[in-house]
Amino acid sequence: MSTIVTSNTERRMQEIIEKVRQGERLNLEDGVFLYETDDLLTLGQLANEANLRKNGKKVYFIENMSLYFTNVCEAHCAFCNFRKDLGDEGSYTYSGPEMVEYIEQHIHPGVREFHIVGGHNPHVPFQYYVDSLQALTDRFPDVTLKAYTAAEIDFFTRISGLSIKEVLQELQKAGLKSLTGGGAEILSDQYRKKMRVEKANVEQYLEVHRTAHNLGMKTHTTMLYGSIESHEDRIRHMMQIRDLQDETNGFMVFIPLSMQPRNKNAGIMRRNSAYEDLKTIAISRLMLDNIDHVKAYFINIGPQLTQVALSFGASDVHGTILKERISHAAGALTPEGLTRDELIWLVKGAGRIPVERDTFYNEIKVYE
């Protein structure tokens, strides 16, 4: 009779499986191993188990609308194709009334959230950014303002002379309810130097969210993966987010963002593979045991892969969006938005239960 020998790789995976099932936190070595394993199906199954324990079969989405007040930006991040210099062809800076006019032309019934990000425009004062939110609050008082990245908040401190807390308090007075998750990229100062991330450093990004949480805000957080970073860099990024969540419990969702090429005509070798996207979503679910939701962002990975990701640990498919610009400026080939009916179809097609939510994951309607 022959003896079946279990490989070291199989034993290592079994150890991780036991840790997850017993509620033991994964460490750096565990996370790096999961990136290096080729056992995608076991990884996905484990992430699916972890998600089902947290969320059951419910998958969340929101009726929202993306707004971009300005694309003028002082930073020159290597991965960005959205930014413009003042005076460049295609550069713009909308006033509050101009944005209200744009919204009135494009909004549809049911929109519950404005998702607001933009460039770091040094040619307007901090009051411009406050007034922008106030104009939306005055005209659309029932729509939640999820606005600005932590990097934008840090930028506001520099142009205003105010502290992070004071900036956030001024924006709250104008209607700010939550921060977007952007600006994190990879939380590594070495990465940020190489990629010319000319905005908030690692500690500043984390401190903005820490301060927002301490002011009672719940926020979102991201990771932009697929350029020069190592698998270890990604896991360290997740662990820093996890540590802050242990401290504040202020993050509602983690959003892995698949890096887009700068040219829409770029071949598949210039894009993250579906294999890598699914791995990252699954590993995010397993590493971030203290955050309720991991988002599959269809803008970056496409609707079909988003559907598959719902069996790999994802519990959120974002929202209707309406004319996303930043990822599409960087080469995304996906739709600029989806309708409510399309999102419901997408979720049901994966054997899950669609749940329309508000910004804070309060359930609006369950589509059984």
DSSP 328-344: HHTT--S-S---HHHHH
Share of the chain above pLDDT 70, in %: 90
Element (H, E) at 55: helix 40-55
The Cβ-side half-sphere exposure at 209, using a 13 Å CA radius, reads 33
What does the mean pLDDT of the chain come to? 90
- H helices of 161-264, in order, are 164-173, 189-194, 202-214, 231-248
Lowest pLDDT segment from 31-45, 182-196, 253-267: 253-267
- Sign, CA torsion 349/111/333/314: negative
The pLDDT tens digits for 177-201 are: 999 999 999 999 999 999 888 889 9
Q: Phi and psi of 260, rounded to 5°?
A: -105, 145
pLDDT tier at 316, thresholds 50, 70, 90: very high
Cβ-contact 323, 106 below 8 angstroms: yes
**Strand, coil or helix: 252:** strand
Tell me how far apart the alpha carbons of residues 191 and 78 are, in angstroms, rounded to a whole number: 11
Cβ-contact 308, 56 below 8 angstroms: no
Q: Would you state the structure tokens that stand for residue 344, as one six-digit string?
A: 């419901």
Cβ-contact 31, 43 below 8 angstroms: no
Tell me how far apart the alpha carbons of residues 306 and 335 are, in angstroms, rounded to a whole number: 13
Indicate whether 4 pLDDT > 70.
no
Indicate whether 322 pLDDT > 80.
no
Mean pLDDT of 224-239: 96
Mean pLDDT of 168-176: 98
Indicate whether 26 pLDDT > 90.
yes
Element (H, E) at 171: helix 164-173
Tell me how far apart the alpha carbons of residues 159 and 173 are, in angstroms, rounded to a whole number: 19
pLDDT tier at 78, thresholds 50, 70, 90: confident
Cβ-contact 254, 223 below 8 angstroms: yes
With b meaning 16 or more CB within 10 Å and e meaning fewer, what string describes 196-217? Answer: ebbbbbbebbbbbbbbbbeeeb
Mean pLDDT of 284-312: 95
Tell me how far apart the alpha carbons of residues 16 and 198 are, in angstroms, rounded to a whole number: 38
Higher pLDDT, residue 281 or 298: 281
| CATH code linked to domain 27-364 | 3.20.20.70
73 marked ligand binding residue? yes
Cβ-contact 300, 258 below 8 angstroms: yes
The pLDDT tens digits for 46-77 are: 999 999 999 999 999 999 999 988 888 887 77
Which residues, 6 or more positions from 65, have their beta carbon under 8 angstroms from its beta carbon?
103, 106, 107, 111, 113, 114, 115, 320, 321, 322
70 marked ligand binding residue? no
Domain limits, the chain: 27-364
* Model pLDDT, residue 120: 87
Indicate whether 262 pLDDT > 70.
no
> Which of 254, 339, 353, 352 minimizes the C-alpha distance to 308?
352
pTM of model > 0.85? yes
pLDDT tier at 325, thresholds 50, 70, 90: very low
> What is the DSSP-derived secondary structure letter of residue 199?
S
Higher pLDDT, residue 271 or 16: 16
